[in-house]
Structure 1
Amino acid sequence: MPPENLEPFFSVVIPVYNKEKFVGRAIRSVLSQEFTNFELIIVCDPSTDDSYAKVAAFNDDRIRVFQREKPGPGGYAARNLGIKNARSEWIGFLDADDEWLPTHLMASQNIITENPDIKFISHNYATVCYSKSQKYFEKAKFNISESGKFQREDVLKILAKKEIFYTNGVLLKKEILLNVGMFPDGKTKRAGDTDLFFKAVMNVEYIYVSDIVTSRYYIEASGVVKDARTTGSMHPVTVTVKTLLPNEREKTTKKHLMMFSNRKALGWAMQRKMKGMFEYAEFRNFFYSQFGLSQWARTIFLLMPDGVVGVYKKLLGRV
C-alpha cells in the first residue's frame, strides 16, 4: 500500500451496471496489480441486481466509489465522471466484466519511464471464450510486427487495416481525454470508445503500442457489442473523419483517414444489412476512391434486396 500522502501514478476507472456476477473479479484484478500506486474509481449506475453490494464489500483505501442516478449507454457517462474525478495524470479503464493481468500497470509504468514524451499507450489483450466443455484463450487479432513507439501517421496506416486499441488495454493522459471531449455521452450508443481513441491519436505525436497481453476480455453470449440495433446510420469514426478531411493537407494522411473510415463504416453497414436496417442513403458514408476489391464486393452485397439476404442467412444457419 502506498503512503497516504503519495499522489496516485494511475487512476483506474471501472463503470458498473448490472455486473453482479463479474465485478468482483474485475476489482480484484486491479487490487492485485504488481504496481500499487494507483487509485481505483468505481462509478456505479443504478443496477437492477446486487452490483453495488458487491462493490461496497471491498475495503481498500485506494478505492473511491461514485454513484449516478440513471444508467447511460456504453458506460460513457460513468467513465466521464471517473475521468473528471481522477487525481492522476494517467488514466486507465477496465470494464466490470473483464480483468487485468497483474502486470498491466507495471508494464505501463515502465513504458512511461522509458518514454517520457508518450501520452497514449495501447496494450494487447486476450479473449476468453466459453463453451460447454472448456474455456480457451485466444490472443488478440491486432498483432503488430513489434512493440514500440509509433508516430501518428504509422498508427493511422495500421488503423486503416486492423484494430490496435481496446478499452481495457488503453492508458491516456488526462489532458488528452479532456482535450478530445472524453467519451461521447449522449451522442452514440456504440463505438464511442473507438472514436475517442481515434481522436486521441490525432491529438498526440506518438503512441506506444505493445503486443504483450496484459488484460482479458470475456466474450458473453449477448451484449451491446453484438447488437446491430445500437448502430446509427453513420459510424462515429466516419463523422469525425468527415470533419477532419477539409482541413487536412497531407495526401497520405487523407488516404489513411478515408481507409480507416471505410473499414469501420463497411463493417457497421454489413451488420445493419444482416438485420434489415441498412438504408441506401448510407452509401454516402463511403470514400470510394480508397475501395479495394473486397470492399466493392461488400457494396454489391449491400445492394441486394433484403429478401435475398434473408435466404443467405438461412443458408448460413444450416452450414
Structure 2
Amino acid sequence: MPAPFFSVIIPVYNRISELKRAIISVYAQTCSNYELVIVDDFSDDFFSRQYARLPAEFPGIKIIPSECRGPSGARNTGIKKTAGKWIALLDSDDEWLPQKLKLQNEIIMQTGCQACYTNEKWLQNGVFRNQGKKHHKQGGWIFDLALPICIISPSSIVVSREALKTTGLFCETMEIAEDYDLWLRLTDRFAVEYIDKPLVIKHGGHEGQLSRKYPMIEKFRMQALENFLSWPQADPANRKKALNMLAQKTAIYIQGAARRGHYEEKKNRENKLDFWKTALA
C-alpha cells in the first residue's frame, strides 16, 4: 500500500472536546491523501479511555502513546511512527479550514518547496483578535523574520520528511518555544513557501495553554538561540545574526532580572552571553 502524502499528527494531553473539533476539521479537508495519528502525551487514564473510543467514531484514525513526555516528544513520536512524505502538524486546541491541505499540496507541486505555512485567525475567548505587526508573515528565505519571535504556527505548517532529516526533530528538553527552536534550523537551511490566507483557527485564552503556564517565554527563546549557535550545520552569517539576537534578548532579560532582585540569574545570563561571544569570535 503506497504511503500517504501527508501524515497529520495531533499531540494531545487531557483534552477531548477540543480534540474532536480538531479531528473534525481534518476529516473536512478537501484533500484526502493523508493519514491521521493522535499521539497521547501521557494523559490521565480518564482521557486515554476516551481516546481509545475515537476510532469507532472516526474510522481510520490511529491512537498511539508518546515515547517522551511533552509536546516535542509527542510530535517526534508521531513523525517517527508515520509514513507520509510530508508532516502536517495540528495542535489539539486548533482547527483547520477545509482547503488547507489542498492548497498546500498545490504549492508543493508547483514550487518543489520543502516547507509551506499559512496565515491564521486568532480566536481568544470566542472573539477574533488581530495579529500585531510583529507577527507579519511572508515566504522565501525568512531566517531574519523568524529570529525575534516564532512567526510559524505549528498548526499552519507542512514540512517534508526529507527536510527534517537535515534539520533534526523537535528538541525534547524544551518545555516551550520548541517550535521556535526548530524553525530557526528550518529557515536557516530552506526557503519556506507562504499562503497568505487564514487557513487555521488558533483558539486561545483557555486553560491548559502552555503559554499561560510559562509566561517567561524569552528565557526559552534564548535557550533556542544557544541551541542554534551550537548547531554545526548553521550558516555562519545566520549564526552571527543569532548571536546578535541573543545579545538583544539577554540585555532585556537581565534588566528585568535586576529589577526583580534576581542577581544570580542576571550574572548567569551575562556569563552565558560572554561565553558565546568568545566561542564565536
Give distance in 2, aligned partners of 1:229 and 1:162: 14
Q: The residue matched to 1:26 in structure 2 has which SS?
A: helix
Query: What is the alpha-carbon distance in structure 2 between the residues aligned to residue 33 and residue 264 of structure 1?
Result: 40
Instruction: List runs of 5+ in structure 2 lacking aligned partners.
Output: 275-281
Quote the residue 1:85 is aligned against.
81
State the Cα distance separating 1:183 from its structure 2 match: 1.2
Q: Kindly indicate whether residue 188 of structure 2 is the aligned counterpart of residue 191 of structure 1.
A: no
Alignment of 1:1-319 (within 5 A): 5-48=1-44, 49-50=46-47, 52-54=49-51, 56-59=53-56, 60-68=58-66, 72-73=69-70, 75-116=71-112, 118-130=113-125, 135-141=126-132, 142-144=135-137, 148=139, 150-151=140-141, 155-185=142-172, 187-204=173-190, 206-222=191-207, 223-228=209-214, 235-243=222-230, 249-250=236-237, 253-262=238-247, 279-280=265-266, 281-284=268-271
Q: Distance in 1 between matches of 2:249 and 2:52?
A: 35
TM-score normalised per structure 1: 0.72
Please say if residues 126 and 137 of structure 1, whose CA atoms lie closer than 8 Å, have aligned partners that are also in contact.
yes
Whether contact under 8 Å (2:119, 2:199) holds in the other structure is: yes
TM-superposed CA distance for 1:170, in Å, is 1.4
Change (3 A) 1:267 1:113: farther
C-alpha separation between the residues in 1 aligned to 2:91 and 2:201? 10
Contact 1:77 1:183 (C-alpha < 8 Å) held by counterparts: yes
Deviation at 1:257, TM superposition (A): 2.4
The one-letter code sitting in structure 1 at the alignment partner of 2:119 is N
Q: Secondary structure at the match of 2:77?
A: helix
**Secondary structure in 1 aligned to 2:37?**
strand
Partner amino acid, structure 2, of 1:15: P
CA offsets 1:21-68 (integer angstroms, 9 cap, x no match): 311101111111111110001111332242541462344454222124
Q: Equivalents in 2 of 1:266, 1:143: separation in Å?
A: 24
Normalised TM-score (structure 2): 0.80
Q: Percent identity?
A: 23
* Partner Cα distance (2:105, 2:114) in 1: 12
Q: Which has the larger radius of gyration?
A: 1
Change (3 A) 1:219 1:67: same
Alpha-carbon distance in structure 2 between the residues aligned to 1:89 and 1:246: 23
SS of the equivalent of 2:242 reads: helix
Give structure 1 stretches of 5+ with no counterpart: 288-319
1:19 and 1:51 in contact (8 A); partners too? no
* Partner SS for 1:210: strand
